[in-house]
Amino acid sequence: MRDIQVLILMGSTSDRPVMEKAEAVLDAFSIPYKTMIRSAHRTPEATVQAIHDAEDAGCQVFICAAGMAAHLAGVVCSKTVKPVIGVPIASGALQGQDALLSTVMMPPGMPVATVGINGAKNAALLAVQILAQNNPKLREQLLADRCAQAEAILAED
Ligand code: RP5
């Protein structure tokens, strides 16, 4: 695996349309990342291998998206001490309510930072904020983004 700072994992290719929003944010901030399809239930061994490979490649933050009984972020958390951000995906009969609870309700000692249902953009921005702790240029870019958001709102008047 080439050098990366963020690994995006998602449980299925059906999650891809949502997670493209996370990729767009990381592209906008020029963050090197890799996206892989890995499932906590369907490909458990390959999921653990991806975590090890990503850490060897310099990964600092994991973004894990899954729907239904969404255990991907929790499993990744169990295998790394890097920050893990969970994205509950709206899929299946409960449209993300199940994934939200499965992702956010981690046992004490196993933290997953969970964004809202389909919150791929916020997941990526949180990853950038984590990386910005040791990167003044990224911090400046984030501040500029906040200013742009405020200006856009005010321009709506
Ligand atoms: C989860 O089950 C995936 O993350 C996806 O959101 C959901 C449905 O998967 P597919 O049946 O579309 O592959 O594991």
pTM confidence score: 0.97
Tell how far the Cα of 47 is from the centroid of ligand 1, in angstroms.
Answer: 15
Looking at the CA of residue 65, tell me the nearest atom of ligand 1.
4
The CB of 14 under 6 Å from ligand 1? The reply is yes
Pocket mutation for ligand 1, best pick of 9, 10, 12 (most atoms within 8 Å of C-beta): 12
Tell how far the Cα of 67 is from the centroid of ligand 1, in angstroms.
Answer: 6
User: What does the block give as tokens for 27?
Assistant: 């592209």
pLDDT tens for the chain, residues 1 to 157: 889 999 999 999 999 999 999 999 999 999 999 999 999 999 999 999 999 999 999 999 999 999 999 999 999 999 999 999 999 999 999 999 999 999 999 999 999 999 999 999 999 999 999 999 999 999 999 999 999 999 999 999 8
118: left (phi over 0), alpha (psi -120 to 50) or beta: left
The CB of 11 under 6 Å from ligand 1? The reply is yes
Three-class DSSP category at 22: helix
Q: Rounded distance, CA 2 to CA 104, Å? A: 30
Q: Which residue's CA is the nearest one to ligand 1's atom 13?
A: 12
CA angle 127, 16, 50 (to 5 degrees): 60
The CB of 103 under 6 Å from ligand 1? The reply is no
